Amino acid sequence: MAKVNDVVIKIATVNGTGSASANGLLRKAIFRMGIPVVGKNYFPSNIQGLPTWYEIRVTGDGYQSRSDRLDIMVAMNAQTYAKDMAEVTSGGWLIYDSTWPRSSLLDRDDITVLGVPLSRMCNESFNGARARILMKNIAYVGVLAALLEIDLDIITELLEETFADKQHLIESNMKAIRLGYDYATENFVCPLPSKVEAMEGTSEHIIMDGNTAAGLGCMYAGATVGAWYPITPSTSLMDAFRNFCAEYRVDPETGKRTYCIIQAEDELAAIGMVLGANWNGARSFTPTSGPGISLMSEFLGFAYYAEIPAVIFNVQRTGPSTGMPTRTQQSDILSCAYASHGDTRHVLLFPADPYECFHMAVQAFDHAERLQTPVMVLSDLDIGMNDWMIPAFEWDDDYVPDRGKVLGAEELEAMEKFHRYLDVDGDGIPYRTLPGVHPKGSYFTRGSGHTKYGAYTEDSAAYQDVMDRLLAKWETARSELPEAEIVYSKFNKAAVLTVGSGHAACQEALDRLGAQNVNLNYCRVKAFPFSDSVREFIDNHEVVYVVEQNRDAQLRTLLMLDSEADPAKLVSLLHYNGIPINAGFVVDGVLGEIAKGRAA
Amino acid sequence: MSYIAKPRVSHPGLPKNKLGLTTRDYEGTVSTLCAGCGHDSVTAAIIQAVFELDVEPHMLAKMSGIGCSSKTPAYFVSQSHGFNSVHGRMPSVTTGANAANRDLMYIGVSGDGDSLSIGVGQFVHAIRRNLNMCYMIENNGVYGLTKGQFSASADIGSLPKKGLPNQQEPIDPVSTALSLGATYIGRSFSGDKEQLVPLIKGALMHDGFALVDVISPCVTFNDHEGSTKSYAHTRQFYHHVTDMDYIPPAEEIKAKYAEGEAMPVELHDGSTIMLRKVDDEYDPTSRAAAFKYLRDHFNAGEITTGLLYINKERREMHDLMGNVDTPLAELPLDSLNPGSTELRKILKRYA
């Protein structure tokens, strides 16, 4: 594994000890050297004292997903030492704090163990328990800088940016870095065979998590009302929106805000607020996770039937029930697609990474207002809370938001009579009006049976007429939503089909399979209802491996329901242990099926 | 729920308000509630109140949840937007609607089941936010549409039509609202239009959360002997604490008030509530005193009515948050995104 810019480092610490800033510093320094890098958090549902890991994949080839290798383990947590050691790939390295002796039982002869007396050095050099703990974490950055040949000037530059007006912090942090760096260079052969080397792989790129990107997207979409109830892993989405708005949405003269964020009493109220605000013409959204969707379900059905726009971000976590709140999954696909009782179905968007979180946040508002229905953006914890390297977003200053079919005062004045649910244009989308605009625009929004004119009804034909028109609108949605990403060659009989965060792992898997002469076509769905091209894609193959991160093959089920795909062709590869999927899983899955006699 | 439009018969003699509209212009579709339902009287009182306030129909938003009470927004002001939401969730929808457009006047019509059982959480939190709305509870102590089960406002010992008396403590919306910091709290009776109309007018004009709890008997399921929410019981134990007149801004105060009889309370828009104490002991500006008075009279089996509490100091939701005066929904979207140059600056922090 002696490769340049292809190394996976995992740092095992205890949560609440400030290791996040040390890990961030390390990841940023490598990125500043022009080397593609991604970072993933594995953290407990806890505030302080439990094991937490941060994994940095230095990926000169640019692959974004979790690696199936672990080259260097920084084992700072005695609690998990045995497990951490066991995880290192044969031929790798383990760094530990040698201040205290380590049990000889915990040894492996196929990896190199490097002891650094981090606690002793920091106790001698710093005063105060808190500083010593924090600096111990910074010191391992120094050790890794020496072992991997990370540019110390860049580390200094980053510290200067972070602590611009706190000179003493720059000095103490650099002192800790030096302690680790000097110890490593004096005691070990530096650099290791696996090391980093400056390259030009990160220009026009940024590192961002999906929740930040989506929060930024909401601000750029012109959202003014955000309502939410805190829930992991979606909380940082509203935090991001709040921070960006605090910067850009406060009138410099009056100090007044052009945004309103309401922390609701629960998710039922959060979605109620979003519907009230959208009904009144504001762009309004709520971020949540699986349990929140369960609570919102009654209102989501209401919004479907009463035809009220809404944008919901579901940053999916591991279910069922409370599940594992800090682990990832794609297990809300079906519960979102059909949230609520009665014949209800919802538009879904599936971002694959933070880049798409930003753009799909904006698109979600456009689609919701155009289609007058809730639009759910299905992200997940892997996308939402991990650090992805993505192209810097571009913003088109000529962007014109699609507010959909909303009648203004002049149009209403000229009309003889306004009817809320008439299909005037034949696309299944009626015209709506906003309160406060014109008396002729008034209508009664209700979740009870209504006619196409908007009046209450218990008449079978009038009820069914509206239900059928909603189906026509569904087909309009199908034609307007983002097309699936398809890579097709007529020479391949088999294909991989995936969704959301499965994209990164599948991209890497296809390359690896290709290197073994297993060539597969590829389809990534970006929205539900699925574009017609998805059905055609499935029809054109003998086998389609459906890769998704849940136990029950929810995407496969949805493909069968919505595109009437032939179930016999759809072979599931299911990853649902809560850890992000990786390429190795897909490669092994496909090769295993081929070995069983499936087409390749 | 009714969809039958009322016949448009013009009565040339009907008085007109400043907008040139008559009370007929503030009506809705024909009520489908039971004949004699208290709610229809409340609807009539709302129509009278918005007529007298010269409310532009399209500037009023009518909000409700589910239940007999929640049907009633269809029965007044057809030219206003209405939002008949899901059971117990009217407060959250109104919160979002108000967040988007603070210029509209919001009237929410709820019931004791909608607000005190399934929706008690949302009721409570709308009060905490001091949401600027008039929140009506048409309180009859029973579930009507599901045929007569007790609601959370039923008094201990109150008899159902069939079966055993209620044994559980009632939730009193007035003392609940008082303890949570509602800034305008009134109670009245569907059969007392004289008291109810000015109370609703004050509630609509008050800048903050205004609760109007109206005892509104259910003629079908809770108007029998032994019920504490019947017409007869309410009339017998009705305890009038305050009376009030609502006087619009810049209007001359014509009524004659004896020295010390009336207490003027000026509202944010310059209108005035002239509050007359029927019981001299009562202080509607003291939460603690009001609470004690209400409990004492409740324990004596009396139904305390009138404007029971008012607080003009506490700011409503938007002002607490420091939001702009323009309705957020009316801000042009291109003024809300910082554009490509700023985006590049933001992204530099992530490089």
pLDDT-derived band of residue B6, with 50, 70 and 90 as boundaries? confident
Name every chain B residue with its beta carbon within 8 A of the beta carbon of A433: 81
C-alpha–C-alpha distance, residues B351 and A338, integer Å: 39
Which percentage of chain B shows pLDDT scores above 90? 84
What does residue A261 show for φ and ψ, rounded to 5 degrees? -110, 125
Q: Is the pLDDT of residue A212 over 60?
A: yes
Alpha carbon distance B219, B138 (integer Å): 13
Contacts of B236 (CB under 8 A, 6+ apart): none
- The answer to whether the CB atoms of A448 and B84 lie below 8 A apart is yes
- Domain boundary, last residue among A365, A391, A417: A391
Q: Closest to A397 (Cβ–Cβ): which among B2, B3, B339?
A: B339
Question: What is the tens place of the pLDDT at every residue in A126-141?
Answer: 999 889 989 999 999 9
Question: What mean pLDDT comes out for the span B3-13?
Answer: 71
Contacts of A244 in chain B (CB under 8 A): 346
**Residue-wise pLDDT tens digits, B73-117:** 999 999 999 999 999 999 999 999 999 999 999 999 999 999 999
Q: How far B185 CA sits from the closest chain A CA (Å)?
A: 22
Could you tell me which residues come within 8 angstroms of residue B156 by beta carbon, excluding any fewer than 6 positions away?
A: B165, B166, B167, B168, B169, B170
Q: What is the count of structural domains for chain A?
A: 4
How far is the alpha carbon of A25 from chain B, nearest alpha carbon, in Å?
12
pLDDT of residue A3: 82
Task: Note whether A272 contacts B122, CB cutoff 8 Å.
Answer: yes
**B118 contacts in chain A (CB < 8 Å):** none
How much of chain A is helix, strand and coil, in % rounded to 5?
Answer: 40, 20, 40
> Closest-CA residue in chain B for A254?
B324
Query: Which residues of B are less than 8 Å from A202 in CB distance?
Result: 351
Residue A474, domain member (yes or no): yes
DSSP per residue over A166-207, as a string? -HHHHHHHHHHHHHHHHHHHHHS-SS-SSB----S--TTEEE
Do A256 and A168 fall into the same domain? no
Q: Which residues of B touch A271 (CB under 8 A)?
A: 92
Q: Which of A80, A102, A98 shows the shortest CA–CA distance to A10?
A: A80
Q: Which residues pair with A54 in a beta bridge?
A: A11, A41
Closest-CA residue of chain A to B59: A436
Same domain membership, residue A180 and residue A55: yes
Percent of chain A topping pLDDT 90: 92
- Residue B97 contacts A where some CB pair is shorter than 8 Å: yes
User: Within a domain: residue B191?
Assistant: yes
* Cα distances (angstroms) measured from residue B61 to each of A241, B56, B221: 29, 11, 30
* CA dihedral over A471, A473, A476, A478, signed as positive or negative: negative
CA of A272 vs chain B CAs: smallest distance (Å) = 5
What gap in Å lies between CA B258 and CA B299, rounded to an integer? 32
At A104 the pLDDT is 63
Is residue B308 within a helix (H) or strand (E), and if so which, with residue range? strand B303-310
Domain that holds residue A199: 6-203
pLDDT value, residue B79: 95
**More confidently predicted of A262 and A597:** A262
Q: Does B35 touch chain A (CB under 8 A)?
A: no
Contact B336 A224 (CB under 8 A): yes
Within A432-486, residue ranges assigned H as helices are 460-480
A393 and B347 within 8 Å at the Cβ level: the answer is: yes
CATH, residue B181:
3.40.50.970
Q: Taking CB atoms and an 8 Å limit, are B122 and A269 in contact across chains?
A: yes
Task: Please indicate, yes or no, if residue A374 is contained in any of the structural domains.
Answer: yes
> How does residue B12 score in pLDDT terms, banded at 50, 70 and 90?
confident
Q: Are the CB atoms for A447 and B86 separated by under 8 Å?
A: yes
Q: Which residue has the higher pLDDT, A162 or A286?
A: A286
- The answer as to whether B344 is a domain residue is no
In a domain, A396, yes or no: no
> B308: distance to nearest CA of chain A, Å?
27
Of A457, A480, A503, which one is at a domain's C-terminal end?
A480
Mark whether A212 and A261 lie in a shared domain.
yes
Q: In chain B, what residues touch A401 (CB-CB under 8 Å)?
A: 333
The reply to whether residue B333 touches residue A401, judged by beta carbons under 8 angstroms, is yes
B93 in a structural domain = yes
pLDDT digits (tens, 9 = 90+) for B228-245: 999 999 999 999 999 999
Supply the pLDDT for residue B83. Answer: 98
Sequential DSSP letters for B28-89: -SPP-SPTT-HHHHHHHHHHHHHHHTT--GGGEEEEE-SSHHHHGGGGB-TTSEEEE-STT-
Q: What is the DSSP letter of B24?
A: G
Question: Could you tell me the residue range of the domain that residue B144 belongs to?
Answer: 23-324
Same domain for A274 and A363?
Answer: yes
Tokens standing for residue B240: 């009038």
CATH number for the domain harbouring residue A345: 3.40.50.970
Residues A444, A491 share a domain: no
Nearest to B122 among A208, A227, A265 (CB): A265
Work out the angle at residue B110's Cα, subtended by the Cα atoms of residues B109 and B115, and round it to the nearest 5 degrees: 145
For residue A574, list its beta bridge partners: A548
Domain assignment of residue A428, yes or no: yes
B41-57 pLDDT, tens digit each: 999 999 999 999 999 99
Residue A163 belongs to a domain? yes
- Mean residue pLDDT across chain B: 93
B329 lies in some domain: no
Q: Are A187 and A215 found together in one domain?
A: no
Q: Are residues A165 and A121 in the same domain?
A: yes
Q: Which residues of A246-285 are buried (b: 16+ CB within 10 A; e: fewer)?
A: eebbbeeeeebbbbbbbebbbbbbbbbbbbbbbbbbbbbb
Residue A484 above 60 pLDDT? yes
Q: Is residue B332 part of a domain?
A: no
What pLDDT digit, counting tens, does each position of A11-60 carry? 999 888 878 999 999 999 999 999 999 999 998 888 888 999 999 999 99
Confidence at residue A492, expressed as pLDDT on a 0 to 100 scale: 95
Q: Are A135 and A168 in contact (CB under 8 A)?
A: no
Please write the tens of the pLDDT for every residue from A246-261. Answer: 999 999 999 999 999 9
Does pLDDT of B265 surpass 60? Answer: yes
Task: Give pLDDT, residue A105.
Answer: 61
Mean pLDDT of A95-115: 86
Crossing angle of helices A152-162/A129-148, nearest 10°? 150
* B331 vs A224, A244, A447: nearest CB: A224
pLDDT surpasses 80 at A441: yes
Q: Which two tokens stand for residue B154?
A: 């039923």
pLDDT of residue A44: 87
User: A511 and A459 in one domain?
Assistant: no
Mean pLDDT of chain A: 96
In sign, the C-alpha dihedral spanning A498, A502, A507, A508 is negative
For testing contact with chain A, the best of B324, B330, B331, B335 (most A CBs within 10 A): B324
Yes or no, beta carbons of B329 and A254 under 8 Å apart: no
In angstroms, the separation between the Cα of residue B205 and the nearest Cα of chain A is: 17
Residue in A with minimal Cα distance to B131: A262
Of A145, A176, A203, the last residue of a domain is A203
Distances (CA, A) of A267 to A100, A262, A270, A447, A459: 48, 12, 5, 19, 34
Tell me which DSSP letter residue B27 carries.
B
How far, CA to CA in Å, does B25 sit from each of A47, A185, A421, A530, B2? 60, 88, 24, 48, 17
The pLDDT tens digits of the residues spanning A201-210 come to 999 999 999 9
Q: Give domain status of residue A447, yes or no.
A: yes
Residue A600 confidence (pLDDT): 66
B73 touching A (Cβ < 8 Å) = yes
CB contacts of A257 in chain B (<8 Å) are 321-324
Examine residue B343 and state whether it is found in any structural domain, yes or no. Answer: no
Q: pLDDT value at position B287?
A: 94
- Do A17 and A48 fall within a single domain? yes
Phi and psi angles of residue A425, each rounded to the nearest 5 degrees, phi first: -95, -5
Task: Give A392's contacts in chain B (Cβ within 8 Å).
Answer: 344, 347, 351
- Give tens-digit pLDDT for A289-315: 999 999 999 999 999 999 999 999 999
Q: Give the HSE-up count for residue A438: Cα atoms under 13 Å, Cβ half-sphere.
A: 17
Whether A399 maps to a domain, the answer reads: no
The two three-digit tokens of residue A386, written as one number: 């991990």
A71 in helix, strand or coil? coil
Return the residue in B56, B95, B325 with the most chain A beta carbons within 10 A, the one to mutate for interface testing: B95
Tens-place pLDDT, residues A215-245: 999 999 999 999 999 999 999 999 999 999 9
Contacts of A569 (CB under 8 A, 6+ apart): A538, A541, A542, A543, A544
Q: What is the ipTM of this complex?
A: 0.96
Half-sphere exposure of B66 (CA within 13 A, CB side): 16
Q: What is the pLDDT of residue A574?
A: 98
Residue B3 pLDDT class (50, 70, 90 cuts):
low
Contact flag B99-A442 (C-beta cutoff 8 Å): no
Count of domains observed in chain B: 1
Q: What CATH number does residue A162 fall under? A: 3.40.920.10
Hey, are the CB atoms on A272 and B92 less than 8 Å from each other?
A: yes
Same domain (yes/no): A170, A105: yes
- CB-nearest to B82 from A260, A268, A445 is A445
Let me know if residue B67 belongs to a domain. Answer: yes
**Which tokens belong to A354?**
């933070």
Q: Is residue A467 part of a domain?
A: yes
| Whether pLDDT at B317 is above 60 | yes
Residues of chain A contacting B57 with CB distance shorter than 8 Å: 439, 442
**Residue B325 at interface with chain A, using a CB cutoff of 8 Å:** yes
Contacting residues of B for A264, CB less than 8 Å apart: 92, 125
Beta-ladder partners of A374 = A310
Q: Cβ–Cβ of A393/B336 closer than 8 Å?
A: no
For residues A300 and A193, membership in a common domain is answered with no
Q: And the tokens for A379?
A: 């992200």
H/E segment holding residue B232: helix B231-237
In chain A, % of residues over pLDDT 70: 99
Contact A570, A534 (CB under 8 A): no
Domain membership of residue B13 (yes or no) is no
User: A378 and A509 share a domain?
Assistant: no
Q: How do beta strands B133-139 and A205-208 pair? A: unpaired
